[in-house]
Chains A and B, each alone.
Chain A
Amino acid sequence: MPKLATLIRVAVFLLLVAFLLQPHWFEPLLRPLVQDNAPVIYNQGSLLQLTFLHLRTVALAVAAAALVALALAILVTRASGAEFLPLSRSLVNIGQTFPPVAVLALAVPIFGFGEKPTLIALFLYGLLPIFENALTGLTTLPPSVMEAARGAGMTGGQRLLKVELPLAMPVILAGIRLSVVISLATATIGSTVAAKTLGEVIIAGLQSNNLSFVVQGGLIVATLAVLLHDGLQAAERRLAARMGR
């Protein structure tokens, strides 16, 4: 039923776009969630703009995390960098075990309120999945293919760019997908330190006891996560299928 699945995805996407552009269309649906006279649709800013800012924060953090994690994974899978493997593992593990809220708390006194502490927290939190997946991808390449690449006279750099990275790409992409989904959800807490994300909507709802706001913010983030997850997974599958996996 791949056709039906695509149809559902397109429908969900269109619903999301409609909600962001014309939120008041959905007022009747959300009305039962609020007490009399309370606003139904978030009224302290544009949902569309917040969504863009949310996505931008996630994109920046994940891009930086991917760059650093990939560079580390490449470094420690070279013969000359193998000794840094345990150190790199510890570093990215610390990034993952440190709660983002704690990172925010520590980063605010240094960088002040706003987007920066959130970016740092998301960056640290996103490193591990990308690093571990890149490591797996780069260390489980078929030995006969690597042997053939060396035997054909490729230099170390050529092997990396022409063989190792393309072959590991589906696994690396899976790591990036995990990071994107984690960051989409985690970015909401950035609004506790005044970062412009969809967390603002949720927090505003919590503060004014407005369930409709909480649901709106939560649903937009969840829908974004599901759509991005699906899109990236489709890209991975396409890549892997080309290689006959």
Chain B
Amino acid sequence: MSTIASSPSGVRPRKQGPLVRFLRRDGAGYMFLLPWFIGFFGLTAGPALASLYLSFTSFDLLTDPRWVGAANYVRIATADPKFAASMRVTFFFVLFSVPLKLAFALLVALALNRGMRGLPWYRAIFYLPSLLGTSVAIAVLWRQLFAGNGLVNTFLANFGIEGPSWISNPNYSLSTLVILSVWQFGSPMIIFLAGLRQIPQDMYEAASLDGASKSRQFWKITLPLLTPVVFFNVVVQTIEAFKAFTPAFIISGGTGGPINSTLFYTLYLYQEAFGFFRMGYASALAWILLVIIALFTAFSFLTARYWVHYDD
């Protein structure tokens, strides 16, 4: 019963309306969300709705939008080889960068979780690339590292290997961006580390007594109990990967080259909008990306009950 019902005055409380109940139960949560709501409704919602309208128009910024119905969507679906190319690039990037990054983050988190001294320092150092991750400076640095005469090839030359110019060769350029993304494993690592801390120590003690090996403990205790955290990381990182833009933009000089090999979907969208002034077409591309991300997220949530264990 609520506190009002048990108030000592003995006055019979008014029956609570749904609004009051809602505020009591969820009010604090929504207060925390308030800054986001202000930002969303004050800044994002209007332009987002406008872009939905624009996606059915032809709009070059200089003259007024002209209604074209579904023509933009039809063209994307039937007659746009660059859409297909950018989809391939983006899906390759998502399918490789997300699992690799999460595996790497988990490995480092496991290594750091053994109660070593100076843990906060290591944590901070490993987290640093994530903070810098989407910045222009890191992308420029990457460009230098992986250029034909960059540091990576200088290093390989010590072993007699003559490396290619990684970023300007269409066979390697996208993989270079995947590596850049994996290197920014800091934020999933921190979340894994927090998850590992919550696994009760006595389970491991019991397993040890039963003679379970370290690797068996990992597969039977650590991983199952960590699945909620894995799930969270998969969803967040997948969305991030679909939206990746800065590294490809900087490293390819905005072209998505060589030969569209780094033409991320967002980069193609940007080119259409700000390179060729097809705002209507770019808006349609943006809404398709939104739908794809929504579908992926929904898929993750639907399959979650088969592999995510909430033990309470």
B and A form one assembly: no
A residues whose Cβ falls under 8 Å from a Cβ of B: none
